[in-house]
Every structure is written in C-alpha cells, then in structure tokens.
Amino acid sequence: MQFEQAAFPVNRFRRLRRSEALRDLVGENRLSSADFIWPLFIRDGQGIEEPIHSMPGVNRLSVDRLMFAAERAMLLGIRAICLFPYTDNALKTPECEEAWNPENLTNRAIRGLKLKFPDLAVMTDVALDPYNSFGHDGLVVDGKVLNDETVAALVRMTLAQADAGADIIGPSDMMDGRILAMRTALEDAGHKEVVILSYAAKYASGFYGPFRDAVGASGVLVGDKKTYQMNPANQNEAMRLIARDLREGADMVMVKPGMPYLDICRLAKDNFCVPTFAYQVSGEYAMIKAAAQNGWIDGEKVMMESLLCFKRAGCDGILTYFAPQAAAILAEIR
C-alpha cells in the first residue's frame, strides 16, 4: 500500500532510533538460535578435533567429539545440525558405493546422534562428491557427469540415510529429477515423514573452496561443476528450478551461496511462500574470519549483520558455520 508521508519536521525518522529500546521495538527482523542449522564436518577416528586451516575455528570431528558439539548445539538453542563427511581416499571410487553403505561414517553418526539427542534435527548431505574418486557430485563416465545414473545412486544414498534416522535430507547435487525420485523412494520405503530440503538454486560459485578442503574433495576434483550447478548470471532459471523441486516433493528450498545471492532468496520467498533457507558458505565464513583476524573489521558485528541480512531477504533459516558463536551472543542478549 502506497501513501504520502508527512514532510520534515513533522516526520522525523530519527525519533524511532533515539534509544536501544525504541530501535528494538520497531525492528523489522529478528535473529534467533532456532534460525540456524549448524554444518559440522566429521571424520573417522576417536578423540579427534582436526582444524581446517582455510576455515579458522572449524574442525573435523570424530563421532565421539561430534556428540559434544551436538550437546553444545542443544544448550545454545540450535535445533538442527547438518553432517558432512571427510572420507578416506581409500574409500573413494568411480562407482561411489560407500555413499549408500549403511555403516559409512555419516550413517553411524546419524544413529549415534538420534540415540543420544532424539530431539535434535539431523540433516544430511546427498551428493556423491565425498565418495567420488573424480570429486564430482555425480557419476562420471568418459569425463561426463551422468544425470539419470547419478539419480539412481542418490536414491540409494537417501534411503540409507533415512534408514539411519535422518530427519532432513539435503540433496545438493543439482541433478535433474532427483527430488521426485527421492520422494517416491522415501514414500515407498515407509519414510513418509522425512523432510527434503532441496538445494534448489545452487550456483557454480567460487565461494566453495574452503568447503572442498574440509571434505577432502579439492585435491581430487577433475574439471569443474558448471554442467550441473547454476550459472551465477541467472535469476529466472533459479525460479524455474525451485518451482520444479516443489512440484516434485521438496518441503523446503535452499539458495547457495548466501550473501552474493540475496536477490534469489527474496524472489524465492516472494514467489513461492515456502520455507526458504540460505547457506552462508565456507568462502563467506572464511572472508569474515580472515578480515577479523587482521583487524580490518569488527568480527562479531559483521557476523551478526551478515546473518540478519538473510532474515531481511526473506529466509526462514540459515546454514552457517557461525551458528554457535551467534547463538551464544543471542543468549547473552536475552
């Protein structure tokens, strides 16, 4: 609704900025710990907290140490975590069979988490890159990433994770038709309540570098991912992809990366009115941390500002490596 505002001095916008109480009273968006999904990297072993040098403050955790992180999440009011495995190179093959092994690292971690923290929502990643000797999200034959054969493999991976107890399945592969195939398989297998949070608009971005270090994919990736991840120039295509995934059975949608694609977040929310998430990816995290460590920015202030911008852009939630730090700050504010 449009209306003509009163002119100065009848209308002084600074009146509502005069004190913290007034600023809070008229604030249009709020952050909560419940907005966060905390991505966590896991690896085999015992008692391991292995620093990821390109992501200061983030570690690869053995499953026993993952339990302490999950407990911390619950105490901070973070209600969901997402698991990403660092897979031994010896388990990586062109066929990616380890991806649907019921006893693989991710599935063992899911079972452990659901046993100890049944109220914590556990999200998983569905893509083949942690298990692929070529480093791609899909099966590769003669240098080409295959779509339909990959979808069949992803369905097997999805069912193994659902059998282990995953609450949210996160397909990040960007293969065509995978949401319908996953939803049909989940229904047929009796996993009718498993949620699909589709990475519906995932761009072929330069912001993923530290993540690939974290999961051990950067050293094995052959070529690039531009034949299946989105062109950063495209906006309308993102809307078509989101619409398709919703028709095929996605419950929620994801935009990835986050801050460089806030326009996509806003369009997604305005066009579809469904639960909309953004992933504040590893490169976004690393830039803020590096600038803060060099004293160029106020790290905490920029962290909180960056997270609030997702809410302003229409996101219902955010996958962010800042989740525990931001939740701790929010707890102190309360």
Give the end-to-end CA distance of the chain in Å, rounded to a whole number.
Answer: 34
Residues in the chain: 334
The token pair that represents 66 in the structure block: 């993952």
Alpha helices in the chain (DSSP H): 20-25, 63-76, 105-116, 148-164, 178-188, 209-215, 236-248, 262-272, 282-293, 299-312, 323-333
Q: Is 207 helix (H, G, I), strand (E, B) or coil?
A: helix
Question: Of 206, 305, 312, whose CA–CA distance to 263 is shortest?
Answer: 312
The token pair that represents 333 in the structure block: 């504010």
Task: Specify burial of residue 149 (Cβ count, 10 A radius: 0-12, 13-18, 19+).
Answer: middle
Question: Of 271, 262, 278, whose CA–CA distance to 243 is shortest?
Answer: 271
Cβ 223 vs Cβ 143: under 8 Å: yes
Q: Considering the candidates 256, 269, 289, 311, report the single residue annotated as catalytic.
A: 256
Question: Of 87, 161, 191, 178, whose CA–CA distance to 129 is shortest?
Answer: 87
Omega prior to 257 cis, within 30 of 0: yes
- Catalytic site includes residue 202: yes
Helix axis angle, 178-188 to 236-248, nearest 10°: 20
Q: Is 137 helix (H, G, I), strand (E, B) or coil?
A: coil
Q: Considering the candidates 202, 225, 289, 311, report the single residue annotated as catalytic.
A: 202
What are the catalytic residues?
202, 256
